[in-house]
Every structure is written in structure tokens, then in C-alpha cells.
Amino acid sequence: MSQFNCMRAGCRDVFHAFLVENAEYEGFFEIPKLDYSCEKPLKIIAFSKVIKSKDYDCWVHFFEDDVIFERIWNNPRKYLSILKKFKGVFSPDFSVYRDMPLVMQYWNIYRSRAIARWLQDNGINVITNVRWGDRRTYSISCCGVPKNGTIVVGSHGTLKNVNDREWFIEGLKYVVDTVHPKTIVVYGSIPDSIFARYKEKGILILQFDSSFAISRRKEDA
């Protein structure tokens, strides 16, 4: 795609084809495939804090409002040298809400993989963050995800509401049955009613509290 785009004099790369110029694709919608990772993160840091941070022994996550990290899509080159200082990056967590038009959900899954592919091509360790909505997104949410490695999921904000919880449980089962992760990194809570079955299968569950949970603990201290 990018080669064709570059041949057109004066044409701007408005859909960021450069991110996937070295990519291989998977599925009908051609989602970029990512490299295998079996990393086991010990510390994480939010993208919004990386510019001022001096603690580089962390993995960068994007479990924040989309508006905070939309800038990495708009200008990824600006943040490349900053992200290279850290242990690695979780692929961006662009929102996949069930009430969004389906094409936008697919677009956000694509954008997450495209940025992750480009970061890997530039020497950054990446663990794939898997985000889904309803059943229409289950298959595409697994496209490009390496099998038998480490993945990231976000449970924060998905378990309190009964309906959201059911979709999370069903979607997680689909993901695990499809990509067979050996390690699942979870941003948010890990209730036994959901995660015990995966621990029993020998899957390592690495849990990190959400920023909200951490702030609540500080308020209660």
C-alpha cells in the first residue's frame, strides 16, 4: 500500500500506510500480524506519564481515555525515541464499544495492530493487547495475535455491569480458545469466578491494578 501511495506525487499518507509497509496480514480485513512475545512484565506505566518518567524499567500501557493517546496515531514518529527507553509497550487500547458502528470497532482494532507492527519494526518489544466488543468482533480481535505467547486484556470497567461482564467472560473464552496464550496480563481485577479456570489450565495470570483502584486505595489510607 505505502509503495503505491508514495508513487503518487504530492499525495499525503493520510491513512498512515507507512505503519504497515513491512506487514503481513491475517483475515478477510487484512489485520497486520504481530511478532511473538513471551515476555512477563513486572511494572507498567501509563502512556500519559512516559514523557516525564525516569523509571524506564516498565512496560507502557494505553489503558486511558482514547483522547489521551490519539496523538500516537496522529504522530507516531514523535514518540518513538521516548518509547524505546522503556522495557516494551502494550499495543494501544483503542476503544471497541458495542454501541459503536461496527466499522469503527474494526478500524480501532486495525489501528492498534498497525501501530504495534510499526513499533516492532523499529525495535520495540510489544505485547498484543486484545480488545473485543460483541460476537461480531471476536474473530477480528484475534487476527494478527501470535499464538502460544503473552497477551494483554483489560478487565477494568468491564465487570461491574452485568451485561458488560457477560460479554467480557464470553469474549475472553473465545480469545483463549483461539490464540492459546501461555500468559495473560490483566489490567484490572481478576475475580476467581472468571480467571480460576484459566489458572487451572496452567495459564499464568499477571495482574496490575488500574490507576483508579490505586487512587482509591490512597484515598482510603
**Count of structural domains within the chain:** 1
pLDDT of residue 1: 42
Give residue 9's pLDDT: 60
Range of the domain at 93: 2-220
* Mean pLDDT on 54-73: 97
Tell me the C-alpha to C-alpha distance, in Å, between residue 106 and each of 19, 31, 109, 134.
17, 9, 5, 12
Return the percentage of the chain with pLDDT > 90, whole number: 88
pLDDT in tens, 157-210: 999 999 999 999 999 999 999 999 999 999 999 999 999 999 999 999 999 998
Instruction: Evaluate whether 162 touches 185 at the Cβ level (below 8 Å).
Output: no
Residue 107 to residues 65, 117, 140, 159, Cα–Cα distance (Å): 17, 15, 10, 24
Q: What is the mean pLDDT of residues 64-77?
A: 97
| Phi, psi (deg, nearest 5) at residue 60 | -85, 130
Query: Looking at the predicted structure, is the pLDDT value of residue 5 above 60?
Result: no
pTM, full prediction: 0.92
CB-facing half-sphere around the CA of 69: CA atoms within 13 A: 25
152 strand-pairing partners: 129, 185
Please name the amino acid found at residue 14: V
Residue range 51-79: mean pLDDT, rounded: 97
CA distances from 87 to 105, 198, 204, 220 (A): 29, 26, 20, 32
pLDDT exceeds 50 at position 55 = yes
